Structure 1
Amino acid sequence: MSGKPKLHYFNGRGRMEPIRWLLAAAGVEFDECFIEKKEDLTKLQNDGSLLFQQVPMVEIDGMKLVQTRAIMNYIATKYNLCGKDLKERALYCNKFVEGLFDLNELLLMHVLQPADQKEQHFANMMDKAENRHFPVFEKVLKDHGKDFLVGNQLSRADVQLLEVILMAEEYKPDILAKFPLLQSFKARMSAIPNIKKFLQPGSQRKPLADKNAVAKVMKIFY
């Protein structure tokens, strides 16, 4: 296969959204093939496209890649978004990214919580963001003294941190009040041309899911 990467997922954030962010930050245009009904998913499963019978799946460079982290590792390596050498990748970039995946999962799953558990989940989610994850990255920026988290160039860690910050702000707009360096980081990253473009209305960035979107996804996957 040649041409643009093709992303197979439902028309929403989910586990494909960090992949969309990473491609956008790399300046890579991509097409999307939305799974609209259960039959669309079944077709991909039956034709052997999904190694573990689940999406996201990305067609890129003649491959059908599955598993979010595997897809992102490939994209980050291909477009030089994982540090300048093995040490930066291991000590900084990958470590930061894994921590961000933990917080991203909490934010992602909030819309799926039963009504009687949403309040507790929200409190836990905000506590982890404000008292565990964001203090780490505030300190990293202070100690590093650079514009970026890894070395002095854009990496996938920067992209994913910005995505998580913006997601957290959707739930609590003043969540960065105690983190001045993260406020500055957010402004810098948002001004990078490829990222700025992705943040504009009409881009392929997906909105926060509402009840109707969640109900539609549940019908496809459950």
Structure 2
Amino acid sequence: MAAKPVLYYFDGRGKMESVRWLLAAAGVEFEEVFLETREQYEKLLQSGVLMFQQVPMVEIDGMKLVQTRAILNYIAGKYNLYGKDLKERALIDMYVEGLADLYELIMMNVVQPADKKEEHLANALDKAANRYFPVFEKVLKDHGHDFLVGNKLSRADVTLLETILVVEECKPDALAKFPLLQSFKARISSTPNIKKFLQPGSQRKPRLQEKDIPNLMAIFH
């Protein structure tokens, strides 16, 4: 039996959270090594396994993969979450990259200066409501299937659900004007692997809080 993937990161969301989501959606059990001290991180750096001296890193299939997109592409391809052909893959990539822009906007709010936080978040939520969510409402309408691409679960669906939930943490009624996205959220959330990941006690991480930032800076800077 193949060893479980091992994820090297801090005990929080950041760039690793999408990796956790994708592995969970694929029904793959994984282990985590949390970097909790600067010494731990420096030891990893000195070992030479971090190609660009950065985490996340995922140990899988005898490889030590770095760079978040590369990690996600590998997992999606390995576990059949990357479409059936190049055209489907191109759509999946396009949707995922668009969502990554929105996700990063929301996630970066925690590190904004106190006097800029409210404005930054308002801007991010405005873009969710007026630029990003309308796109996916239309995709679901035009495609006419339960999923964004083809007629089976792909990493695009997983990424969209993850992003919806992150936006809803900041604005619970974010989907009020998007009935197809509401149905999509309910449908994808109820698939067995994802439903399990959404339960308390899973490896899903809570929102990063401002109080966590000094500790992360001490480890990684």
**TM exceeding 0.5:** yes
Using the alignment, how far apart are the partners of 1:202 and 1:212 within structure 2? Answer: 22
CA distances 1:160-182 after superposition (whole Å, capped 9, x unpaired): 00000000000000000010000
Q: Which amino acid aligns with 2:82?
A: C
Using the alignment, how far apart are the partners of 1:150 and 1:81 within structure 2? Answer: 10
TM superposition shift of 1:108: 1.4
SS in 2 for 1:41: helix
1:27 aligns with 2:11: no
Q: Which amino acid aligns with 1:39?
A: E
Sequence identity, in percent?
A: 71
**CA RMSD, aligned part only?**
1.1
Q: Which amino acid aligns with 1:35?
A: L
SS in 1 for 2:116: helix
Q: How does 1:113-128 map to 2 (within 5 A)?
A: 113-128=112-127
Q: How does 1:33-182 map to 2 (within 5 A)?
A: 33-90=33-90, 92-182=91-181
TM superposition shift of 1:38: 1.1
TM-score normalized by structure 1?
A: 0.97
Using the alignment, how far apart are the partners of 1:22 and 1:71 within structure 2? Answer: 10
TM superposition shift of 1:214: 2.2
8 Å Cα contact 2:111-2:210 kept in structure 1: no
TM superposition shift of 1:196: 0.1
TM-score normalized by structure 2?
A: 0.98
Task: Tell me whether 76-85 or 109-118 shows the greater mean CA deviation.
Answer: 109-118
CA distances 1:184-207 after superposition (whole Å, capped 9, x unpaired): 000000000000000000000000
Runs of 4+ aligned structure 1 residues displaced above 4 Å come to none
8 Å Cα contact 1:19-1:72 kept in structure 2: yes
TM superposition shift of 1:2: 4.3
How many aligned residue pairs are there?
221
1:185 aligns with 2:184: yes
TM superposition shift of 1:215: 2.3
Query: Partner of 1:17 in structure 2?
Result: 17
8 Å Cα contact 2:167-2:174 kept in structure 1: yes
TM superposition shift of 1:40: 1.2
CA distances 1:49-75 after superposition (whole Å, capped 9, x unpaired): 100000000000000000000000000
SS in 2 for 1:65: strand
8 Å Cα contact 1:2-1:62 kept in structure 2: no
Using the alignment, how far apart are the partners of 2:37 and 2:175 within structure 1? Answer: 38
Using the alignment, how far apart are the partners of 1:113 and 1:45 within structure 2? Answer: 28
Q: Which amino acid aligns with 2:94?
A: K
Is there any run of 5+ residues in structure 1 with no aligned partner, and where? Answer: none
